[in-house]
Structures are given as structure tokens and as C-alpha cells.
Amino acid sequence: MKNKNNEEININDAASKKKGLFKIIENIMRKVPNGGMLFVSIFILALYVFCMGVALTPGILVFLKVQSLTSNSSEFIRALGMAMSIGLGLFLFSFTIIFVVPLVNYPFIPFVRSYRGPWFSLESIPWYIHNALIYLVRYTILDLITPSPLNILFYRMMGMKIGKGVMINTSNISDACLIELEDYAVIGGSASLMAHYGMKGYLIIDRLKIGRGSTIGLNAIIMGGVIIGEKVTMAPGSVALPKTIIPDETKFGL
């Protein structure tokens, strides 16, 4: 972005163009970015504590019940019972958190939209929270249930549009509610899908679509604004840069 003298300026230092209270909030965010990030981070931490607390509750209830039932047993039986209850508790946590997080995420989905502007903006907050919630599951248990119907279910509940017969063999996914996978699309292992990117100081959030019957190779990277047609084959390790449009039946990167 340039000013009237054709000099480069930082878009994140520019005054908000919104009105009223929204303008005041955005201007504070840009003048005190560390303070704004701290506030949002504390809010996300509170969401994390709530989600993990709820997800851990079934396992802790099992542990307490086993502890009560084995209180008069031998030391070995008590230890075995507690160990087994901890193992079952971890399983229950893994199952519960993939439902708890989408419920917490649900109110933010309508506010995660295509956007081009400063990183420090009201539009970026729900996008940031949405991804933070995805990463909570991604960095705890998502790799353990990928690929399976459970990871498909999780992404659907997070707002991703997924057709029938889709296979997702990666957890490297951001911006789930802005991604569409049509019928029988296959996402290869460790491929990265993200409906956002940064350019010249701007945060750009744009939808990403993968057409019917397309195959995305191992470690491929697909960025915001990309549209992949039907029956496309994308080579392992290839990169679809922002705004790329790949026609039907193309062998991309091969």
C-alpha cells in the first residue's frame, strides 16, 4: 500500500475505515497490537480450558469410579484398575473432544468470511479463533484418527463442505469452514490445505475448492483462492499458489 507521495506504508498502521465503536476497537488493536493479541490469546486459552475440561470429564469419572471399586483390593489390583481407567479415559477424551470443539466453534463460523485487509482487524478475530480450535484437536488427537470416518466427521462439523466418498489423509488443514471437497476427492498424506495467505502486509482469506474425483498428492500445498477442477491429479510436493485455477482432468506438477 502506498500513500499520496507514492511511499510504501504499513497497512496495519492505517486508521480503521469502520465507524463508531468498531473503528475505536480496530484503532486500538493497531496502535497496541501486543495488547490486542494478548486479549484474544487469553480468550482462546479460556476456550481451550473449557474444551479440554469437558473432554477430560468422562475419563476422570471412570477413574474415580474404578478408584472407589478397588479401594479394598490389593495394591496390584488397584494399580491395574487405575492404569486401565487412565487408558480408557484417554480414549474417551479423544472421542469427546472431536464433538466438543465443533460446538464451541459453531458461533464463530458465520463470521469467518473471505477477506482482504490488515491483520489487526475485527474480521481476523473469528478467523483466528476458528483456526485455534482446529489446531487444538490437530495437535492432540487428530493424527491418531486420520484417515478415518472420524476425521471426516470432525471437519464436517467444523464447517468444511465434504462430498461423498472423500478421503482425507492429512491433518495439515486450516480454515476448514472455507474449504469445499467435492465427491470422491482424495487428499494425500501430509498435504496442506489453507484458505488464507499473507501478501504485502495484507491478510487474505479466500475460499478453496477441490473438484469431484481429484487427487492431491503427498505433501502437496494448496493455498487460498485456489479452484481445482474435476479429476485433477496434483503431483506429490507440488504447490498451487493463491488464485490458481486448475482445469478439469489436468495433471498438475507432473
From the list 215, 225, 212, 208, the residue with the least C-alpha distance to 182 is: 212
Position 3 pLDDT exceeds 50: no
State the CB neighbour count (10 A cutoff) for residue 19.
8
Position 7 pLDDT exceeds 80: no
Position 62 pLDDT exceeds 80: yes
Distance between the two ends of the chain, CA-based, in angstroms? 37
Chain region(s) in the chain for CATH 2.160.10.10: 147-254
Supply 134's cell numbers.
482446529
CATH topology of domain 147-254: UDP N-Acetylglucosamine Acyltransferase; domain 1 (2.160.10)
**Residue 30 vs residue 6, higher pLDDT:** 30
- Residues forming a β-bridge with 199: 202
| Tens digit of each residue's pLDDT (9 = 90 or more) over 82-133 | 999 999 999 999 999 999 999 999 999 999 999 998 888 888 899 999 999 9
| Tens digit of each residue's pLDDT (9 = 90 or more) over 33-52 | 777 788 889 999 999 999 99
The fraction of the chain above a pLDDT of 90, given in percent, is: 76
What are the φ and ψ backbone dihedral angles of 182, each rounded to 5 degrees? -80, 175
